[in-house]
Amino acid sequence: MKRRTFLATAAGAASASLLPIAARASMVNYEPGLINERLDAGETLFLDFFADWCGTCQAQRRVITALWEENPAYLEKITFIDVDWDTYGRSELSMSMNIPRRSTLVALAPDRTEIGRLVAQTGRDDIKGLMDQAFAVASGAA
């Protein structure tokens, strides 16, 4: 294999591993109006204020993806929304929700109450706790 081909292939594989396929396929990309639309439909939401260049965001996403793999029911009951920080960090959404920074995770109930939030937390137990709270609401157990 030529060195140039190898380097291009390795770089592509490395960047693809930063965001697993399951994560890309399971996150709904935020667009204005989407949150109200999904809440009006009775969905429980898990918002991930994410930036591709953010190491903390990448760590959170790896934990979230691992939790999906362990318990696919999260994906059945909760709608996961990826809010691109570079696009929406200073938006009406971020301002109205008092989102202080990228790497903020927020769970919302269909009645528009905040279930909980994590700011820059990457611990598996912390993220699982928030996802479990959202799951309980989505399942009618909360």
Domain count of the fold of the chain: 1
List the structure tokens of 103.
């790497």
List the structure tokens of 125.
């137990």
Does the structure show a pLDDT above 90 at 7?
A: no
**CA distances from residue 54 to 49, 85, 123 in whole angstroms, order as listed:** 10, 10, 16
Does the structure show a pLDDT above 50 at 5?
A: no
Mean pLDDT, rounded, for 47-73: 96
Task: Confirm whether 13 is domain-assigned.
Answer: no
Does the structure show a pLDDT above 80 at 132?
A: yes
- Residue length, the chain? 142
What share of the chain has pLDDT > 90, as a percent?
79
The pLDDT value given to residue 107: 98
The residue range of the domain holding 116 is 19-138
Please, what sign has the CA dihedral across residues 29, 32, 37, 43? positive
CA distance 16 to 12: 6
pLDDT tens digits, 22-43: 454 678 999 999 999 999 999 9
The pLDDT value given to residue 141: 74
The pLDDT value given to residue 20: 47
Task: Confirm whether 44 is domain-assigned.
Answer: yes
Task: Confirm whether 12 is domain-assigned.
Answer: no
Helices (H) and strands (E) in the chain, counts: 8, 5
Cβ atoms 47, 105 nearer than 8 A = yes
Task: Confirm whether 70 is domain-assigned.
Answer: yes
Going by their DSSP bridges, the two strands 78-84 and 28-29 should be labelled as: parallel
The pLDDT value given to residue 12: 45
**CA distances from residue 72 to 40, 69, 96 in whole angstroms, order as listed:** 24, 6, 31
Q: Residue 110: give its domain's CATH number.
A: 3.40.30.10
